[in-house]
Structure 1
Amino acid sequence: MRSNRIRTTVVAATALLAALSLTACSGDSGSSESSKAGAAAPVANTIDKQATSQPESHATSQPQSQPQTAAPETGATEAPVTNSGTKSGGSGTTKNTVPPVKTGANKAGNTASPTSTKTVTCTGSNTKVTVTKVSRPVNHLLLTVTNAGSQLCNAYYAPKLRFDDAQAVFPILDDSQPQAVVTLEPGESAYAAIGLTGEPGSGPAPRKAAHLQVNFAGKSNVGSTGTPAELTLPANTYWDDNGYVTYWQTEMADALQY
């Protein structure tokens, strides 16, 4: 009895499966060959969409903890400095500033430049010479020669002095010779100190003088060259044979140290 029930159930299931198969076949038989060929297209499109969308889905699924690579900047970049001295790029333009040539003011405050590179000898005709009395050292005068010309001039060696109508040139202090010839630009000055007397009682009595002749040495230092400068001495100037004059110096303090 039980076996009959099982057989009946199997038969009913078989009949149901057969009915479903017939229904599916009748639906498929109504479609044409063209529709069967076109059925593959949606599958291909679906695959393409998945392929193209996969990187985007993968990008959004990355964990935030992974390092991200910064994108290169697309703005203007700084260009190298060109020979024209300008730097472009970024905002604005920057120029390489070249320091200006410094002419400098000379000791007399004259900023004029020489009109020629030729150098001449300083003489009474292209210079201005003055003589002043100084408080220190005692019994000293200061000679100042200033280039009054338009060219460089060399003040060679030491001035060659004569007080009033003296026959001999005043002694020159050899220890004061500088290391180089003193060259003066227009407006520049050089200095020489005059020690009027030696140690008291070491020679003839000092003589009073009112006039001083300043002669200039040439490059060979033989005799004198050019026009001398004629100066009036400060009142009550006395000198003797033990006095001396220094070489020309570029600094006043260097001359007055002797």
Structure 2
Amino acid sequence: MRQRKSFDFDEVAMTYSQYRYPNEKLVEHVFNRVRYADRILEVGCGTADYLGILSELLHARGFGFDISPSMIMEGTRKNHRVELMVADADQSFPYEDSRFDFVFNVNLVHYIANLENLFEESFRVLQNDGSVLTVTDSCQDICERTLTYYFPETLEIDKARYPGNSSITSAMKKAGFEGIYTTKVKTTFEFKKKHFEQYRNKAYSALRLMSEEGFEEGMKRLEEDMKHGLVIGKKAYTQIWGIKIAKRDFDLPTIFAVGFNDESSN
């Protein structure tokens, strides 16, 4: 079991609600692979921005939970169509078996102590043939992003926090998921005022874990670059998918044996 990463999300709920938003290319990527779902669940949903837009696009009933009451309060205020509650993703999920067609988490696994529990519970609440998705940052994603370029201290901070893809897929396999595969979404964008404000208000947890001196140096460098020309932002997302396959309720060798015996008795 990994050590749980402590972070006060109640303290930053309003900042996340105001300055964090879903990545359009990631939303499109997920929608194109799911296409249809009746009920979807976001684990560790925060302010439920991804849950809100995906449930709307998929015409699905959206459910989500998060350990932070303040995040759930902000999510409920912003997304009236989804059903949210306070619960811990390191514990049993507060839903019955086989409830959902699609279960996903975005930027969650680096806060989770027990990856095996996360995927065992995701498997339990999924219907047969339902899909699970983890959106995370690989080591390469962390190295190449704009956040790391301007705030190099965050490189080691996040490399230490994020579990590797192999740890995630291993936990998924142990839970029973099959057909596991990985996809990538890479985005480049003009770094505008709204992105600057994300950084200035520390709307990414790594910025709150680094030194104040390093943070101020990064902000000054970014501000100077924006004054002198176009700044191109870079962000990549790693998606790890799996499927809950229905298990056979019969023993094929037994059937073949019965068939053989029936044939020989005629």
Q: Name the structure with the higher strand share.
A: 1
Q: Same fold (TM over 0.5)?
A: no
Q: Name the structure with the higher helix share.
A: 2
TM-score, with length taken from structure 2: 0.18
Where relative contact order (Cα < 8 A, 6+ residues apart) is larger, the structure is 2
Q: Which has the larger radius of gyration?
A: 1
TM-score, with length taken from structure 1: 0.19
